[in-house]
């Protein structure tokens, strides 16, 4: 089988396409013939050894996938061979065949294509976990989404509307704001030309936002924190800007507000049953049209480096997905 391998910590162009022996499922495992692999911003970090998860070399990037069950290991009774499935493995999915624990798979309905199924697990899973479980977002509250046109940002916009919030989309260009608004955001802010804190205060009548969803970090995090209202919640998703901010903790005291970390990957690994239920819920939203599960572009497996370059350059709206042709 073909696989994308990170053999040394380096930018995407150093990734290699290699032939590996077909994998064999062990007890409790299945072999999945991979059709699609969702890529995420953290993939651009993990291959450079800049992410909190540090797999041993060599490894494949790609944390989420969809495909068909090819073989069952000892003791596995389902899902049966041929079943369409998807799942989250953290890393290692960018290959044509993948061994994964059977209890970490969710069945993909026949009316949901595998490319969209592969692309919704991490971004929408992160956003649902952030907004509902960690952020306790309530209907009628104001949700501010930074990086609103990116993968997790778009997911937060759409899920925020499902949860009944007023959504303010913040992004780095008018084009990205228009994209977020076309997916349900009520209003937008271009934080390259507008003062984020002052504009958010204005849009909330001076009261401040209830929840800020922050996958960007850098200088924007403190501005967002200062824009929170009483008992507001800042959700720390990631640091796409490249800088981990140092927040003044006195602001939490003065505003009686919270900064809450969102570690979807760890939660998913700790509780496989929760992950399967979450994926199944998200696929239901995708099938009904409640979420778009928007895929900006697909690339063949062999062009993984190019695909990651698009993500690293912050050129992507929504998701990028690798396809194997299977």
Q: List pLDDT tens digits, range 258-302.
A: 999 999 999 998 998 999 999 999 999 999 999 999 999 999 999
Confidence of residue 44 (pLDDT cuts 50, 70, 90): very high
Confidence of residue 60 (pLDDT cuts 50, 70, 90): very high
pLDDT of the residue at 167: 98
Q: Whole-prediction pTM value?
A: 0.92
Mean pLDDT estimate for the chain: 94
Torsion angle (degrees, nearest 10) of CA 148, 154, 155, 156: 30
pLDDT of the residue at 72: 97
Distance (Å, rounded) from C-alpha 243 to C-alpha 170? Answer: 18
Q: Which domains does the chain have, with CATH numbers?
A: 2-121+268-323 (3.90.180.10), 139-262 (3.40.50.720)
The pLDDT tens digits of the residues spanning 148-201 come to 998 899 999 999 999 999 999 999 999 999 999 999 999 999 999 999 999 999
Sequence-ordered strand ranges (E) for the chain:
2-5, 16-19, 29-39, 64-72, 84-88, 97-101, 105-107, 142-146, 166-171, 187-190, 209-214, 228-236, 258-261, 295-300, 319-323
Q: Which residues of 148-179 are buried (b: 16+ CB within 10 A; e: fewer)?
A: bbbbbbbbbbbbbbebebbbbbbbbeeebbeb
């Amino acid at each position: 089988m073909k696989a994308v391998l990170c053999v040394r910590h380096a930018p995407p162009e150093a990734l290699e396409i290699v032939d590996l022996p077909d994998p064999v499922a062990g007890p409790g495992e299945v072999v999945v013939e991979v059709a699609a692999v969702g890529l995420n911003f953290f993939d651009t970090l993990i291959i450079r050894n800049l992410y909190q998860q540090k797999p041993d070399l060599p490894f494949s990037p790609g944390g989420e996938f969809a495909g068909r069950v090819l073989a069952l290991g000892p003791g596995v009774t389902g899902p049966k061979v041929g079943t369409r499935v998807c799942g989250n493995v953290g890393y290692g999915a960018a290959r044509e065949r993948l061994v994964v624990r059977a209890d970490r798979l969710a069945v993909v309905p026949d009316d949901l294509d595998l490319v969209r199924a592969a692309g919704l697990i991490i971004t929408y899973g992160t956003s649902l976990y952030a907004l509902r479980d960690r952020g306790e977002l309530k209907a009628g509250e104001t949700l501010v989404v930074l990086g609103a046109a990116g993968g997790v940002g778009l997911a937060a916009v759409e899920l925020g509307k499902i949860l009944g919030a007023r959504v303010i989309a913040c992004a780095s260009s008018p084009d990205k704001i228009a994209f977020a608004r076309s997916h349900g955001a009520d209003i937008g802010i271009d934080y390259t030309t507008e003062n984020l804190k002052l504009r958010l205060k204005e849009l909330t009548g001076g009261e401040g936002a209830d929840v800020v969803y922050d996958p960007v970090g850098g200088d924007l995090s403190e501005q967002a924190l200062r824009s929170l209202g009483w008992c507001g919640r800042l959700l720390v998703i990631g640091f796409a800007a490249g800088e981990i901010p140092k927040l003044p903790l006195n602001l939490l005291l003065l505003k009686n507000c919270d900064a809450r970390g969102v570690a979807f990957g760890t939660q998913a690994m700790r509780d496989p049953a929760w992950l399967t239920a979450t994926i199944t819920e998200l696929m239901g939203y995708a099938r009904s049209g409640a979420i778009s599960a928007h895929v900006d572009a697909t690339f063949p497996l062999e062009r993984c480096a190019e695909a990651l370059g698009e993500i690293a350059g912050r050129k992507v709206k929504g998701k990028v997905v690798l396809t194997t042709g299977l």
